[in-house]
Amino acid sequence: MSATLRLAMSGLRGRSKVAAAATALVAALAAAAVVAGLSVQSQGGPQVDEIYRDSGRPDLVVYGEPAVLEGLRGDAAFAATGPVTTYTMGDVALGDGSVEARVDTLPPASTPGAPQLRTGRWPSGAGEVVFDRAAAVEAGVRDGDRVHVDVAGRPATLTVVGTAVDLTDCFYPDCDPIRLFVDPAGLRALAPDAADRHTLLIARLTDPDAADATAARLGSGAGVDGVQPWPDSRDDILVRELIFGAALAAFGVFVLLAAAFVVAGTAAARLLARRREIAMLQAVGYTNRQIIGGLLGETLILGVAGAVLGWAAGTLVAPSLQVGLSAAMGRTGIRVSLVSLLIAVAFVGVILTAATVLPARRAARQPVTDVLRDAPPRSAAPARVARLLERLRLAPATRFGLGSVLARPARSALTAAALAVAVAAVVVAGGFLSTMDRFVADPAQSGDPYDAVVAGDGTDGARTAAALSSMPEVAGWYTQTDRRATLGDETFLARAIGGDPAGAGFVMREGQPLRVAGEAVAGYGFLKRFGLDVGDTVDIHAGETPLSLKIVGRYSETEDTGEVLMYRAEMLPGATPDAFLVSARSGSPEALATALRGRLGPATTVRPIESDPDELALFTYSMFVMAGLVLVVSLANLAAALLSGARERARVLGVLRTVGFTVRQTLAQSASGGAALGFAAGVVGLPVGLVLFQVLSDQMTMGIGAGPGLARNPSWVLLALTVPVAALIGALAGAAVTRRLAGTPASALVRWE
């Protein structure tokens, strides 16, 4: 065995089992988080792509009039199409409320875009329905249950005979409507009135990459109400995975950073304890390089072992962390990726090397004769620090405690740094929580500044408008009409706003709100996609209508990853509103919905705004678990550093007790040292955490299309308490670890080996 390897192995044998296990465990934790994060980010895609292929590659969904769609079936861009499918819109009671549903006639099995059956069987009669898989799993609807469907005010009850996955839009709860499938008789029973029936066409393109361009071309044609290209749906399906995976990986990095500081600190301390051994090796003939190699090798062996373990754990855990897709598509199988193993090992290896190499170099550089002569290790200008401390009028216990911390500047700095990482992690988590809270509490942040929706189909727009304006419960309302619009050969969602959007409260991030015809406000995603800015003028086609709009402002929108353009409804003469969006003066959205139903009658579909606290709960829960893990790692390190420091000073503590330090003063000195470290950690970690939070949250909100600057800082209570609490935790840790030492009789302390 090479001399270096031999040295590494001997170092490993000499380590305390607990410390070695701790190092490996921390490396494993970090690797697991990074691997799981990467997995989560990347495993959704292939899964979705598989279903996409199984479904016959539904590249484009076109909504429009039956005759027009029939004519489109022969379009040159289409490789194959399904039949023109009839559907109707309704509401389904789901869980505590209801959700919008699109009830399709079941197409033949092997046509592009046919739904994929997951459980049960296809419907064979009028009273049967195949339910949206994602919604079924989320709400606990099982085969054999009966569900209540309301189409244009006509209630019906259907029996669920199966569940299926459909790719014409993203999945519940990110997207609505959910999709239900019935046989032709069933559809006729639900929607006997032709006015309630609509048609769609699903096509596979010869050139899937041209989906957007094809959508743009077809969307502006006459008789076409809308187009939905597959790439857009795919992005919507995967966005949650992307964000969660990114957050997971980011926290893996946090853990690893904290681990790096921990490893560096313990490496420095252990190397100090092994000075004699290292000096003797040098005297025997080991070169500096061999010694550094041996010391590094020791840490790397542990780190790599931990990383491999962590990779295995992360790979095993990743399928369970699929937050959004699992409901719809079932858990993915475990994907063993050697690439992620390499990444994890390389990542952990690099960080641990960086953490250990400096202390290793210092240890190898110490003069051999000094060490063998038992000369005390050189510390940095001890007298100066001591004189400084004496100038501050501190109690003896505090003075000694602080002096001990400052006497080992490197080790103390590293311990405090590890804790600072934890503080930053907690601040970031708190910030995310705060921001999420705000998003939930204020739906305007995601572009939905309303409390209840009144469906526009089949209602008298003018009558509804008059009713809304007269209701005292209504603070304001506006209408929206969605069109698939094109700019050049690209397509996006354009929304015509009627009524009084100013009363609704869209959150303007830049510029001015939408007031008059000819103006438009855009989401961040839209501006980014087309390379535009507030102040530019664009010429678009909303459906068939050409419009020239001046972008006067940017607002906060998360739908369609922010690629939405809003303009005044006056510019679309003759268009009926798709929906009336109503804000309540006070009270809950449910109360407003009830009032609206009462006023507008049962024929009108009214839905209160949904929030999905469950999803949020999972996200914030995981955030705090991860922040908590980082905190545990750092606190354990703090305790270990304080304890080893106290043990090293045991004899001096004995001397102090001889001079007259009481037990309480012994505890107090350790508490002061810990408090100083905690204070430093808080003072550094708090601003770093805030900055990091701003950066990370901007990345995230830009990623979902809402644009930067949406993050809300953690509550001021958290911020104000961070530094004092960190100091307090440090003090408690210090007092706790020296409790036994403090109770040891002075006689034993003085004789400490």
Partner 1 sequence: MTESLLRASALTRTYRGGAREHAALRDVSLTVAPGDWVAITGPSGCGKSTLLHLLGGLDRPDSGEVWLAGSRLDDRDESGRALLRRRHVGFVFQFLNLVPTMTVIGNVELPLVLQGVGRREARSRSLAVLEELGVGDAADSAPAELSGGQQQRVALARAVVHGPDVLLADEPTGALDSASADVVLDLLRRRHDSGQSIVLVTHDHRVAAAADRVVTMLDGEIVDERDLTGTKDRPTYANLINLEG
CA dihedral 255, 261, 263, 264 (to 10 degrees): 160
x-or-dash string of contact with partner 1, 348-387, rule CB under 8 A? ----------------------------x--x--xx-xxx
Closest CB 32 distance from partner 1, rounded Å:
41
Q: Which stretch binds partner 1 (CB under 8 A): 167-175, 283-291, 313-321, 741-749?
A: 741-749
Instruction: Verify binding: residue 585, partner 1, rule CB under 8 A.
Output: no
DSSP structure class, residue 123: -
Strands (DSSP E) found in 154-223: 154-165, 178-182, 197-205
Nearest to partner 1 of 380, 603 (CB atom): 380
Instruction: Verify binding: residue 273, partner 1, rule CB under 8 A.
Output: no
If residue 717 lies in a helix (H) or strand (E), which one and from where to where? helix 716-737
If residue 257 lies in a helix (H) or strand (E), which one and from where to where? helix 230-273
Calculate the CA 580 to chain-centre distance: 32
Nearest to partner 1 of 124, 379 (CB atom): 379
Closest CB 669 distance from partner 1, rounded Å:
11
Strands (DSSP E) found in 311-459: 452-455
Closest CB 646 distance from partner 1, rounded Å:
14
Closest CB 675 distance from partner 1, rounded Å:
17
Count interface residues toward partner 1 (CB under 8 A): 36
User: Which are the contacts of 24, defined by CB distance < 8 A and separation ≥ 6?
Assistant: 302, 303, 305, 306, 309
By CB under 8 A, name the one of 142, 276, 664, 740 that touches partner 1: 664
The two tokens of residue 477 are 């309302």
Three-state secondary structure of 584-639: ECCCCHHHHHHHHHHHHCCCCCEEECCCCHHHHHHHHHHHHHHHHHHHHHHHHHHH
Q: Which residue has the tokens 């003896």?
A: 396
Closest CB 737 distance from partner 1, rounded Å:
18
Q: Which stretch binds partner 1 (CB under 8 A): 37-45, 458-466, 662-670, 726-734?
A: 662-670
Nearest to partner 1 of 379, 699 (CB atom): 379
Q: What is the separation, in whole angstroms, between the first and last Cα of the chain?
A: 34
d(CA 41, CA 48): 12
Nearest to partner 1 of 455, 667 (CB atom): 667
330: left (phi over 0), alpha (psi -120 to 50) or beta: left
Nearest to partner 1 of 89, 405 (CB atom): 405
Closest CB 300 distance from partner 1, rounded Å:
34
x-or-dash string of contact with partner 1, 395-434, rule CB under 8 A? -x--xx--xx-xx---------------------------
User: Which are the contacts of 730, defined by CB distance < 8 A and separation ≥ 6?
Assistant: 419, 638, 674, 675, 676, 677, 678, 679, 681
By CB under 8 A, name the one of 209, 390, 539, 614 that touches partner 1: 390
Nearest to partner 1 of 387, 585 (CB atom): 387
Strands (DSSP E) found in 294-352: none
Closest CB 403 distance from partner 1, rounded Å:
4
Closest CB 275 distance from partner 1, rounded Å:
16
Closest CB 738 distance from partner 1, rounded Å:
13
Closest CB 677 distance from partner 1, rounded Å:
15
Nearest to partner 1 of 222, 383 (CB atom): 383
Closest CB 741 distance from partner 1, rounded Å:
12
Q: Which stretch binds partner 1 (CB under 8 A): 366-374, 679-687, 694-702, 743-751?
A: 743-751
d(CA 629, CA 327): 27
x-or-dash string of contact with partner 1, 622-661, rule CB under 8 A? -----------------------------xx-xxxxxxxx
Instruction: Verify binding: residue 747, partner 1, rule CB under 8 A.
Output: yes
What percentage of the chain's residues is helix, strand, coil (to nearest 5)?
A: 55, 20, 25
Nearest to partner 1 of 409, 535 (CB atom): 409
Query: Of the candidates 90, 112, 258, which has an alpha carbon nearest to the alpha carbon of residue 190?
Result: 90
603 burial level (CB within 10 Å; 0-12, 13-18, 19+)? exposed
The binding site for partner 1 (CB under 8 A) comprises 376, 379, 382-383, 385-387, 389-390, 393, 396, 399-400, 403-404, 406-407, 651-652, 654-664, 743, 745-748, 750
